[in-house]
């Protein structure tokens, strides 16, 4: 079995050479053979730029065919891929580039009213040697065609030899996830473990060359990257990247392109269900979906089936630290199981719920979810201390989530040990957000908690204590936050308070803040 990205993609090319591999939003299509030729040229160009096996190559761009080509090329030269969230500001992206030591960055040009190379420029780390602008480049940018021109300096056989040399134990990617320390940490995973997870997920979804897979989930997330375009290409699907979610535009593509597979967080389906154009759109091609990343209401799953017409609706649970997947439901599970649980651990994975002393708890009793098996990360990049906190001496990854197992081994997530909350599918870490808000000139203290929201699942609420003599206007405060951080991190509301509730050791009692919110 092909257990590296280069080998798995080569097997798909051999089997599906003439079939469509990627279809852009403008209708431009690449066959598997054409995509293979393009990823080889891009790999030659990366080698010409000096990228060695084991180096890091970053991508900071919305979903597109060129993102996929860049990702495949990075994998094929033996580099570790470093996806960066497109909602991040320049300083946030620069931190990840500096921490990862990325030598090359593939970056969008103009996007959502911003020129991304200009956002980065004041913060660009010295370790970043080359910025390639995938699309919408400006005058001095190194654009996509100019990048590909470097391929002439390296023969194709050299690039192919690099792809052939990649092993299952080589780093496939370093995906940054924030933590309670407030700074993003780089999660290291390998080709072999990721390919095994991807194949298990694809089997549950029954992905095949007959599927047309619309990937709305962002490529910087495991949902859009690993079990998104990569899973689709390995299975021989036609993969259709979609850059910016808009319910009307997505429904038009479903109808025009006869989309059969469309995973997403609950917010995606709520938007589709609530759009008035749905009644006038042919969605009959839809076959399979999987949702997660937030509490999924049973009524929503029923509407996904009845109103959107999906025949396969699954739920699951995973983390960046587990290659994206821990547990999955099975298509044969009852509707009740699918709406009330996150499924069973995938084969080869152990899962327990434990008490504060790390002792296993019986079925039905809630405790911290811990995971052990081939899907667990190799550790956090250059951070043995945080790695040791996350993975204990017996190899169990402590997720920080609270859950329980039922009598049949199905997992239910009930709460979080950590303060993390999920906004529209994006993990939000209060420590990180609070660190940024602390720079506000009028803020003395701040605490951020997640509060329920009908559309987004949860959103942030900031409790701020002003500095003496200062006043804080909620509108101005939120506007300031929007300028400093990715949109999903921005608190949607703010409460100005005299003090924050604290315990004897000075720790903020966030449960009291959640209760008051």
pLDDT in tens, 214-223: 999 999 999 9
Domain that holds residue 374: 312-416
Of the candidates 180, 209, 235, which is a domain's last residue? Answer: 235
For position 351, which CATH number holds? Answer: 2.30.38.10
The reply to whether 182 and 60 lie within a common domain is yes
3-state helix/strand/coil string of 44-112? HHHHHCCCCCCCEEEEECCCCHHHHHHHHHHHHCCCEEEECCCCCCHHHHHHHHHHHCCCEEEECCEEC
Mean pLDDT of 30-59: 98
The reply to whether 460 and 385 lie within a common domain is no
Q: Collapsing DSSP states into helix, strand and coil, what is residue 289?
A: strand
Confidence category of residue 506, pLDDT binned at 50, 70, 90: low
Distance CA 91, CA 120 (A): 7
Q: Considering only CA atoms, which of 36, 53, 12 is closest in space to residue 169?
A: 53
Q: Evaluate whether 304 touches 281 at the Cβ level (below 8 Å).
A: no
The reply to whether 399 and 459 lie within a common domain is no
Residue 241 lies in a domain: no
**Mean pLDDT score across all residues of the chain:** 93
The reply to whether 329 and 411 lie within a common domain is yes
Q: Collapsing DSSP states into helix, strand and coil, what is residue 197?
A: helix
Distance CA 433, CA 237 (A): 39
Higher pLDDT, 17 or 416: 17
Residue 508 confidence (pLDDT): 82
179 pLDDT exceeds 70? no
Residue 270 lies in a domain: no
Other C-beta atoms closer than 10 Å to the C-beta of 411 total: 22
Mean pLDDT of 387-395: 97
- Both tokens assigned to 107: 């970056």
Residue 438 confidence (pLDDT): 84
Other C-beta atoms closer than 10 Å to the C-beta of 333 total: 18
Give φ, ψ of 9 to 5 degrees: -70, -40
Residue 2 confidence (pLDDT): 84
Structural Rg of the chain based on CA atoms? 23
The reply to whether 402 and 447 lie within a common domain is no
pLDDT in tens, 114-165: 999 999 999 999 999 999 999 999 988 999 999 999 999 999 999 999 999 9
Q: Evaluate whether 218 touches 194 at the Cβ level (below 8 Å).
A: no
Residue 27 confidence (pLDDT): 94
Mean pLDDT of 423-440: 86
The reply to whether 72 and 40 lie within a common domain is yes
Residue 276 lies in a domain: no
The reply to whether 131 and 155 lie within a common domain is yes
Of the candidates 352, 386, 416, which is a domain's last residue? Answer: 416
Confidence category of residue 5, pLDDT binned at 50, 70, 90: very high
Residue 429 confidence (pLDDT): 78
Higher pLDDT, 419 or 153: 153
Residue 252 lies in a domain: no
pLDDT in tens, 472-494: 999 999 999 999 999 999 999 99
- Both tokens assigned to 401: 């989530």
pLDDT in tens, 311-354: 999 999 999 999 999 999 998 888 888 888 999 999 999 999 99
The reply to whether 67 and 80 lie within a common domain is yes
pLDDT in tens, 439-463: 899 998 899 999 999 889 899 999 9
Residue 178 confidence (pLDDT): 67
* pTM exceeding the 0.75 threshold for the entire prediction: yes
298 pLDDT exceeds 50? yes
The reply to whether 177 and 61 lie within a common domain is yes
Distance CA 498, CA 514 (A): 17
Mean pLDDT of 20-37: 97
- Number of domains observed in the structure of the chain: 3
Distance CA 370, CA 404 (A): 11
- DSSP secondary structure code for residue 202 in this structure: H
- Both tokens assigned to 123: 């913060």
The reply to whether 93 and 228 lie within a common domain is yes
292 pLDDT exceeds 90? no
Residue 394 lies in a domain: yes
Q: Evaluate whether 76 touches 43 at the Cβ level (below 8 Å).
A: yes
Residue 210 lies in a domain: no
For position 431, which CATH number holds? Answer: 3.30.300.30
The reply to whether 42 and 178 lie within a common domain is yes
282 pLDDT exceeds 70? yes
Residue 180 confidence (pLDDT): 43
């Amino acid at each position: 079995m092909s257990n590296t990205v280069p080998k798995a993609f080569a097997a798909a090319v051999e089997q599906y050479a003439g079939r469509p591999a990627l279809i852009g939003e403008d209708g431009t299509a690449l066959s598997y053979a054409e995509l293979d030729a393009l990823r080889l040229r891009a790999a030659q160009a990366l080698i010409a730029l000096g990228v060695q096996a084991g180096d890091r190559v970053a991508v900071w761009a919305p979903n597109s065919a060129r993102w996929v080509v860049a990702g495949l090329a990075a994998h094929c030269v033996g580099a570790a891929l470093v996806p960066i969230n497109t909602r991040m500001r320049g300083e946030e992206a620069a931190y990840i580039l500096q921490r990862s030591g990325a030598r090359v960055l593939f970056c969008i040009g103009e996007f959502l009213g911003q020129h991304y190379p200009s956002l980065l420029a004041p913060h660009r780390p010295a370790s970043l040697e080359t910025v390639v602008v995938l699309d919408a480049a400006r005058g001095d940018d190194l654009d996509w065609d100019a990048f590909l021109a470097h391929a002439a300096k390296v023969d194709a056989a050299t690039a192919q030899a690099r792809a052939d040399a990649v092993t299952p134990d080589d780093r496939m990617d370093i995906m940054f996830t924030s933590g309670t320390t407030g700074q993003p940490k780089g999660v290291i995973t390998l080709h072999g473990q990721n390919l095994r997870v991807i194949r298990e997920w694809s089997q549950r979804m029954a992905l095949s060359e007959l599927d047309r897979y619309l990937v709305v989930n962002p490529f910087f997330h495991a949902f859009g990257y690993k079990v998104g375009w990569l899973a689709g290409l390995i299975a021989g699907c036609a993969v259709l990247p979609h850059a910016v979610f808009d319910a009307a535009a997505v429904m038009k593509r479903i109808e025009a392109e006869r989309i059969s597979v469309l995973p997403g967080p609950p917010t995606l389906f709520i938007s589709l269900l609530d759009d008035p154009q749905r009644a006038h759109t042919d969605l009959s091609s839809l076959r399979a979906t999987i949702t997660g990343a937030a509490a999924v209401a049973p009524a929503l799953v029923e509407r996904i089936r009845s109103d959107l017409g999906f025949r396969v609706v699954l739920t699951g649970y995973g983390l960046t630290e587990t290659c994206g997947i821990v547990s999955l439901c099975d298509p044969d599970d009852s509707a009740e199981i699918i709406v009330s649980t996150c499924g069973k651990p995938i084969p080869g994975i152990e899962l327990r719920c434990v008490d504060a002393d790390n002792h296993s708890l019986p079925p039905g009793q809630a405790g911290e979810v811990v995971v052990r098996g081939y899907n667990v990360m190799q550790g956090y990049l250059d951070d043995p201390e945080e790695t040791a906190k996350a993975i204990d001496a017996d190899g169990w990854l402590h997720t920080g989530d609270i859950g329980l197992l039922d009598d049949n081994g199905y997992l239910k997530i009930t709460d979080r040990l950590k303060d993390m909350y999920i906004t529209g599918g994006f993990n939000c870490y209060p420590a990180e957000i609070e660190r940024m808000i602390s720079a506000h000139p009028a803020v003395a203290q701040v605490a951020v908690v997640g509060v329920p929201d009908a559309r987004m699942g949860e959103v942030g609420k900031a409790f701020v204590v002003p500095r003496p003599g200062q006043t804080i206007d909620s509108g101005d405060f939120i506007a300031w936050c929007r300028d400093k951080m990715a949109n999903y991190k921005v608190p949607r509301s703010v409460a100005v308070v005299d003090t924050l509730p604290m315990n004897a050791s000075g720790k903020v009692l966030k449960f009291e803040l959640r209760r008051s919110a």
